[in-house]
Amino acid sequence: MKKLGEKDEEAQRLAELKKYLSQKKEALEEELEKLNSIISVIDDLLASKSFKTGIEVMKKAEEKAEAEAALQKLELVYKGMKVGDMEVYQTYARVTPLPELKLSTATSPFEAFLVRKVLEPMRERDVERAAKNELRPDQMFSYDIIEEGGLLKYIVVRNFRDRIRLRELANAVSWTFFTMVAKKGGVQTSLEESEQA
């Protein structure tokens, strides 16, 4: 039979153990809540990136563009050579290379630089901010690359939110398109044509 002192000691140990388990449970519940929040953000992203054909995305973007006038139209120029245009709307922008450049997304540095070093980091930063509840999922930066017949038709960029980010995008796209043309050996010809025009 246990003495009274031993019972008190055991009760105290059990109370401490219960307190520890309660704190642990609370911490795990908090972590679970954060994980659920991140999963929810990822689900929203997956839904927005759901598999659509290029034609469906293109039609949707074109219908939206027709419904509202561009607030601003920027010429994308690098080293004196015009490589495309950027039409800026209220919540999105459309970047279109000059059709005569016939750019393919397979040409470097489109994927390695523009997608992986510029567009994806912008998207990832917003995913992190949304996970911390600093942004709603519908405010997150996203983009679609539209191709037709193996050639880049245009890029739709949503929720750029500020002019600094937009300028950064315009500069990155101008350099990328110019470098893609140079890789094809078309820079000199294009520069000569623009000088004659």
pLDDT, tens digit (0-9, with 9 covering 90-100), for 116-149? 999 999 999 999 998 888 888 888 899 999 998 8
pLDDT, tens digit (0-9, with 9 covering 90-100), for 71-104? 888 899 998 999 999 999 888 899 999 999 999 9
The whole-number pLDDT of residue 152 equals 92
In percent, how much of the chain has pLDDT > 70? 77
Residues 127 and 45: beta-carbon distance below 8 Å = yes
Euclidean distance between CA atoms 101 and 27, whole angstroms: 56
**Count H helices, E strands: the chain?**
5, 5
Euclidean distance between CA atoms 100 and 197, whole angstroms: 15
Kindly tell me if the per-residue pLDDT of 53 is higher than 60.
no
Residues 70 and 86: beta-carbon distance below 8 Å = no
Statement: the pTM of the whole predicted model exceeds 0.75:
no
Q: Taking the alpha carbons of 148, 59, 124, 86 in that order, is the dihedral positive or negative?
A: positive
Q: Where are the domains of the chain?
A: 1-49, 51-196
